[in-house]
A and B are shown apart, each in its own frame.
Chain A
Amino acid sequence: MSGFRTLFYKEILRFWKVATQTVAAPVVTALLYLMIFSHVLESHVLVYGRVSYTAFLVPGLVMMSVLQNAFANSSSSLIQSKVTGNIIFVLLPPISYREFYAAYVLAAVARGLVVGLGVLLATLAFAPLAFDNVLWVLVFAALGGGIMGSLGVIAGIWADKFDQLAAFQNFLIMPLTFLSGVFYSIHSLPPFWQQVSHFNPIFYMIDGFRRGFFGISDVSPWTSLAIVGTCFALLTALTLAMLKRGYKLRN
């Protein structure tokens, strides 16, 4: 058990030591999105008939930051350790594959939540936020971070080089996040794209997360919870199976 604790602590320490890059930079990026999009759209759009566009955008940006940073944390830590070879320091000790998984994913969730909180605090100045139900906020942030943290573990183990990881990020993670309703409510989309969005798990994470702020959402938060929860369970099972086999790590 304490192997897990140390690995978790090490992963936290790793990003915290370079917090300008891993925390401050993504907060600034999110702020830039907010300023640009709200400047252009604020006067034109009212979402759900009563929410100002800026207020609507903030939770989307917070969740997007949680997701992207959770993915970045586990994937970049693993690929760096693999490329430099220091991954053996965690492969030599008596750490089980479950502890390994838990440590990397929880650290990824932690980084996501820290950045998300940073974005939330930084954007408070732009739009007063209501909290309809903090529980939804926390549940979807944690599950979303967990899903992306797991995907990061898979990508970090699968990729042999940094550019393979970048491809994973640019062709899978980025499109899925951007097309999930961060910047818009999918009800404003043509019916075809609304249908397509329903196949994107990230849509449900963001929709459920927003529900916690506004008390309104595109689909029921329970549906979102079921879908997001199932995704997390499946990804966890997949990642654990990979780690148990020692895929690319013990070979």
Chain B
Amino acid sequence: MPPALRVDRVAKRFGAVTALAGVDLEVAQGEFFGLLGPNGAGKTTLISALAGLVRTDDGKIEVMGCDVVADYRNARRQLGVVPQELVFDPFFTVRETLKIQSGYFGIRDNDDWIDEILANLDLTAKANANMRTLSGGMKRRVLVAQALVHRPPVIVLDEPTAGVDVELRQTLWQFIRRLNRDGHTIVLTTHYLEEAESLCTRIAMLQAGRVVALDTTANLLQRFSSHTLRLRLAPGASLPPGIKARAALHDGVWSLAFQHFEEVAPILAQLSAAGCCLENLEIGKPDLEEVFIRVMQGERGGMR
């Protein structure tokens, strides 16, 4: 079984800007994969290269084992892309847009599937509305629908939830999760890290056109983030020196990182022994935001 995506030493420059500086990546079939990185990291360029929208300067890309240049017809049939930019054709209605898109892929009678997509994206009521009359969030949904008309096994979403309300986010993720359960491979870019953390099983982080972290979400969290005990002291109280040494102060809150929950009780015991009064106490889970920040600051934390 070929991987859903194989990206091999892919490089792309725009004039003086190096958008991709030799990216290697493999996404297995059925994965829910996250592609993260700051603005300008090269995420959209990589997706454009997968989709054949830009010609790369170097390297090789395969979608489900099909080379995106030599065997572009098959590669493109396997791939559905939701672009980052909110684009639409003002000449057509939603349904016309989807029928035309199906036709481009050689699919003639696609009405049942189109109806199903429309229902799942809560667009049925707008099926015969002209694209121009839709709100931004609805246009975004149509872009998702367009990417799905040919039932591609690999679905790539470039910031699909930018400018989309909470309710649609929920519907959208439910739908995408269902597609993933049905066997579709999902590749997602987003700047909402909680979203990526809860959805993606594996994550690549891109910085200045390079992959700087690539691992399962669980491993990344474990390696770069920890549980933290956050303490706000009562006025006048101070931490005992032994604890203060391993704590960091931020906005009046002391944070202590720990690996195992067994460590918490002794810390609290020490505090009460020292007569240190607390105003508030929280336990924070490891989170992807911390991972992201630390990776972007250059920590490679035993990256394999």
Please indicate whether A and B come from the same complex rather than being unrelated chains: yes
Interface residues of A (CB under 8 A from B): 1-3, 5-7, 9-10, 13-14, 17-18, 81, 84-86, 88-96, 246, 250-251
What residues of chain A lie closer than 8 Å to B77, measured between beta carbons? 94
- Check A9–B103 contact: CB distance below 8 A: yes
Report the separation of the CA atoms of residues A9 and B100 in the bound assembly, to the nearest whole angstrom.
Answer: 9
- Check A94–B76 contact: CB distance below 8 A: yes
Q: Give the distance to chain A from B55, nearest Cβ to Cβ, in Å.
A: 6
- Check A92–B51 contact: CB distance below 8 A: yes
Report the separation of the CA atoms of residues A2 and B105 in the bound assembly, to the nearest whole angstrom.
Answer: 8
- Check A10–B87 contact: CB distance below 8 A: no
A2-B108, A250-B54 known; A93 and B85 CB under 8 Å? Answer: no
A-B contact count (CB 8 A): 76
Contact among B79, B83, B87, B105 for A3, CB-based, below 8 A: B105
- Check B76–A93 contact: CB distance below 8 A: yes
Can you name the residue of chain B whose Cβ is closest to the Cβ of A9?
B103
Q: Give the distance to chain A from B95, nearest Cβ to Cβ, in Å.
A: 13
Interface residues of B (CB under 8 A from A): 51-55, 72-74, 76-77, 79, 81, 83, 85, 87-92, 96, 100-101, 103-106, 108, 146, 150
- Check B72–A251 contact: CB distance below 8 A: no
Report the separation of the CA atoms of residues A1 and B105 in the bound assembly, to the nearest whole angstrom.
Answer: 10
What residues of chain A lie closer than 8 Å to B89, measured between beta carbons? 81, 84, 86, 89
Contact among A9, A92, A246 for B55, CB-based, below 8 A: A246
What residues of chain B lie closer than 8 Å to A6, measured between beta carbons? 100, 103-104
What residues of chain B lie closer than 8 Å to A95, measured between beta carbons? 104
Contact among A3, A85, A86, A91 for B106, CB-based, below 8 A: A3
Can you name the residue of chain A whose Cβ is closest to the Cβ of B76?
A94
Contacts A14-B91, A86-B89 given; 17 further ones with Cβ under 8 A? A2-B106, A6-B104, A9-B100, A10-B100, A13-B91, A13-B92, A13-B96, A84-B89, A85-B85, A89-B87, A90-B104, A91-B51, A91-B52, A92-B76, A92-B79, A94-B106, A250-B55
Q: Give the distance to chain B from A164, nearest Cβ to Cβ, in Å.
A: 20
Report the separation of the CA atoms of residues A84 and B91 in the bound assembly, to the nearest whole angstrom.
Answer: 12
- Check B83–A88 contact: CB distance below 8 A: yes
Report the separation of the CA atoms of residues A171 and B102 in the bound assembly, to the nearest whole angstrom.
Answer: 40
Contact among B74, B92, B104 for A93, CB-based, below 8 A: B104
A86-B87, A86-B89 known; A2 and B81 CB under 8 Å? Answer: no
Can you name the residue of chain A whose Cβ is closest to the Cβ of B90?
A84
A3-B106, A94-B77 known; A89 and B55 CB under 8 Å? Answer: no
Can you name the residue of chain B whose Cβ is closest to the Cβ of A77?
B91
Contact among A2, A81, A92 for B103, CB-based, below 8 A: A2
- Check A91–B53 contact: CB distance below 8 A: yes
Report the separation of the CA atoms of residues A89 and B83 in the bound assembly, to the nearest whole angstrom.
Answer: 10
What residues of chain A lie closer than 8 Å to B51, measured between beta carbons? 91-92
- Check A89–B91 contact: CB distance below 8 A: no
A-B contact pairs, 19 of them (CB 8 A): A1-B106, A2-B108, A3-B103, A3-B104, A3-B106, A6-B100, A85-B83, A86-B89, A88-B53, A89-B146, A90-B104, A91-B53, A92-B52, A93-B104, A94-B72, A94-B104, A94-B106, A250-B54, A251-B55
What residues of chain A lie closer than 8 Å to B79, measured between beta carbons? 92
